[in-house]
Amino acid sequence: MEPTSSRESLDASPRIDVRDATPVDAPELAELINAIIARGGTTALEEPFTPERLADAYLIGSSVLCCFVAVDRETGRLEGFQTLGRYPELPDDIGDIGTFARIDGKQRGVGSALFAATRERARQIGLSAINATIRADNIGGLTFYGKMGFMDHSVVPGVALKDGGRVDRVSKRFPL
Ligand SMILES: CC(C)(COP(=O)(O)OP(=O)(O)OC[C@H]1O[C@@H](n2cnc3c(N)ncnc32)[C@H](O)[C@@H]1OP(=O)(O)O)[C@@H](O)C(=O)NCCC(=O)NCCS
């Protein structure tokens, strides 16, 4: 069972602010996402990011439609981020989403707070839907997007992993 499923002890009243990501956030967010990649088992990503590559891919690069960060109001620590971007295999009016919350985070509601902002911005920029592609073994990720209102769309079976294993990729869609 993946560690993200033990949520009982987390604080259910988050004290977080949500704002647009900036280039200055890149080193802290690279550390945040690299910890998730190193733990394995959830994100489909397998290679760590440099701050520069993360900024280009997810924060401010030309394919990025928007990216929001969740900030702890008391400590200023970045607790998570959510990116929405163009993906070559999707129509122009469908954005592709990725969500990452700190693995040592103590607060619940980071992903939901981020999605409220992303959903609003996606509507403002005129998208028709948001796509989320999730590993079929990422129960936390599947549950999270389902809870946000994403509906099952399609499955690509047996996508290869670096270690030789294979896992299905599930795509879910949120209509705007
Ligand atoms: C998936 C992820 C973004 C969720 O972020 P989060 O801040 O924990 O999400 P929230 O606290 O806002 O959760 C909202 C709802 O999603 C569901 N949920 C979130 N994480 C869950 C988990 N690990 N197991 C079961 N349900 C989960 C719950 O139903 C929750 O509702 P509840 O608070 O009423 O129980 C976070 O666990 C994460 O970063 N995972 C690793 C990266 C990843 O898998 N990203 C998704 C694919 S891109």
Q: What is the pLDDT of residue 7?
A: 55
- The protein residue with its alpha carbon nearest to ligand 1, atom 10, reads 109
Q: What is the pLDDT of residue 3?
A: 39
Q: Which domain holds residue 86?
A: 11-175
Query: Ligand 1 center to residue 64 CA distance, Å?
Result: 22
Q: Does a structural domain hold residue 6?
A: no
Q: What is the pLDDT of residue 158?
A: 86
Q: Does a structural domain hold residue 125?
A: yes
Nearest to 127 by CA among 67, 55, 66: 66
Q: What is the pLDDT of residue 154?
A: 97
Model confidence over 105-154: pLDDT tens digits? 777 899 999 999 999 999 999 999 999 999 999 999 999 999 999 999 99
Separation CA 13–CA 58 (nearest Å): 27
Supply the pTM of this predicted model.
0.92
CATH number at residue 153: 3.40.630.30
Question: Given ligand 1 and candidates 77, 103, 144, 145, which is best to mutate, with the most ligand atoms within 8 Å of its CB?
Answer: 144
Q: Does a structural domain hold residue 64?
A: yes
Q: What is the pLDDT of residue 30?
A: 98
Q: What is the pLDDT of residue 105?
A: 79
Residues with CB under 6 A from ligand 1: 4-5, 7, 36, 42-43, 80, 98-101, 108-112, 134, 138, 140-141, 143-144, 147
Mean pLDDT, each 10-residue run in order, the chain (176 residues) = 46 78 98 94 87 97 97 94 96 97 87 97 98 95 97 93 88 98
Domain count along the chain:
1
Q: Does a structural domain hold residue 4?
A: no
Q: Does a structural domain hold residue 165?
A: yes
Query: Ligand 1 center to residue 10 CA distance, Å?
Result: 12
Q: Does a structural domain hold residue 38?
A: yes
> Which is the closest atom of ligand 1 to the Cα of 113?
12
Nearest to 118 by CA among 99, 101, 134: 99
Q: What is the pLDDT of residue 9?
A: 53
Contacts made by residues 165-168, CB under 8 angstroms, sequence distance 24+: 167/135, 167/136, 167/137, 168/135, 168/136
Query: Ligand 1 center to residue 140 CA distance, Å?
Result: 5
Q: What is the pLDDT of residue 4?
A: 43
